[in-house]
Amino acid sequence: MAVTGLFSRMTFLDRIIVLTLLVGAGYAFHVAAQKKDGSRVVVEQQGKVVFSAPINGDREEIFSGPVGETLVVIHNREVYIGRSDCPRKICMGMGHIHRSGDVIACVPNQILIRIAGEEKGDDRAYDILSR
């Protein structure tokens, strides 16, 4: 009911706008899905690298920022925020990341976690190794 009502009140241009945005977002997802799995976890605070570790070793690390502590967990080749003292817990909601170039940002605590890949040649060698 509500959905058909909504649709009937949209103008042609409205539909074009929504469709264009959806296609754009879908394409960005498609591009993101092409990315290779990363190999290293890099944590930055205020633009400086404060931590770097391989993604295939399980470990937990606590970082302190302006609003408190943030627990970064590397587990099962994935990285996520286990616990954070920031008010809205957006970083915890960002879920688990594992692809090269993925990020989790905790803005209040000024922490940025990203997954780094390796050089092209290294990447291939690594794939062979893991198989």
Partner 1 sequence: MTEPTTSSVVDLPELETIRRQIFLALFIALAVALHTLEALLPSPVLGLRLGFANILALTALFLYGARAAWIVILARIFIGSLLLGNLFSPGFLLSLSGGLVAMSMMGGAKTLFGRFVSPIGVSVLGAVGHIAGQLLVAWLVLVRHGGLWSLFPVFVIFAIATGLVNGWATVLLLDTLKKHPLFSSKGGNGALPPEV
How far, in Å, CA of 121 to CA of 126, rounded?
9
Is residue 2 near partner 1 by the rule CB under 8 A? Answer: yes
Burial tier of 113 (Cβ tally within 10 Å: 0-12, 13-18, 19+): buried
Among 53, 71, 73, 94, which residue interacts with partner 1 (rule: CB under 8 A)?
94
Would you count residue 14 as binding partner 1 (CB under 8 A)?
A: yes
Instruction: For residue 49, state whether it binds partner 1 (rule: CB under 8 A).
Output: no
Count of CB atoms situated within 10 Å of the CB of 8:
7
C-beta closer to partner 1: residue 36 or 89: 89
47 makes contact with partner 1 (CB under 8 A): yes
Our finding on whether 34 is near partner 1 (CB under 8 A) is: no
Check the CA dihedral 89-93-99-101 and report its sign.
negative
Question: Least CB distance from residue 130 to partner 1, whole Å?
Answer: 24
Please name the residue that has the structure tokens 């092409």: 34
Stretch touching partner 1 by CB under 8 A, among 54-62, 69-77, 95-103, 122-130: 95-103
Among 54, 62, 101, 127, binds partner 1 (CB under 8 A): 101
Torsion angles phi and psi, residue 12, rounded to 5: -55, -45
Q: How far is the CB of 45 from partner 1 (least distance, A)?
A: 10
What is the 8-class DSSP label of residue 38? P
